Amino acid sequence: MPFSLSLFLTLSAITWLFYGLAIKDFYVALPNILGAFLGAVQMILYVIFKYYKTPSVVVDETEKPKTVSADHSINMVKLSSTPASGELTVQPQTNPDVSPPVQTYGGDLEDQMDKKMSN
């Protein structure tokens, strides 16, 4: 948040706090106590961290490049030799213990319409 915005929001909260106390309206003064306090905390943090700089990362030039072992690498030739999904055929599995579903009319609206159309 920009410093000027924080400053004027804090001043606004302090002004409304004093106005609420002057007219003895605590519904105006009480919320602005929190706003003035948090605004003051924010201004203090701005002053503390105004010249704070992030530490620069030091790169160690003697560090060796990392290598990947053979068991952690992916063989792209093996992956490209797998069949495409269009070449695969799926055989339906049948269970001889289960009887085929019975076609019944009367519950499905489409079947009823087909039956009327065929008559």
pLDDT at residue 23 is higher than 90: yes
When mean pLDDT is compared across 3-7, 60-64, 100-104, the lowest value belongs to 100-104
Rounded distance between C-alpha atoms, residue 16 and residue 8, angstroms: 12
Phi/psi of residue 3, each to 5°? -60, -40
Q: pLDDT value at position 104?
A: 54
Rounded distance between C-alpha atoms, residue 84 and residue 98, angstroms: 33
Tell me which H or E stretch contains 112: helix 109-118
Rounded distance between C-alpha atoms, residue 23 and residue 28, angstroms: 9
* Domain coordinates in residue numbering, the chain: 3-48
Predicted confidence (pLDDT) per residue in 61-98, tens digit: 666 666 766 666 666 655 555 555 555 565 666 666 76
Predicted confidence (pLDDT) per residue in 32-63, tens digit: 999 999 999 999 999 888 887 777 666 666 66
Rounded distance between C-alpha atoms, residue 40 and residue 7, angstroms: 9
CA distances from 93 to 84, 98, 101, 103 (A): 22, 12, 15, 21
pLDDT classification of 10: cutoffs 50, 70, 90:
very high
How many Cα atoms within 13 Å fall on the side-chain side of residue 5? 2
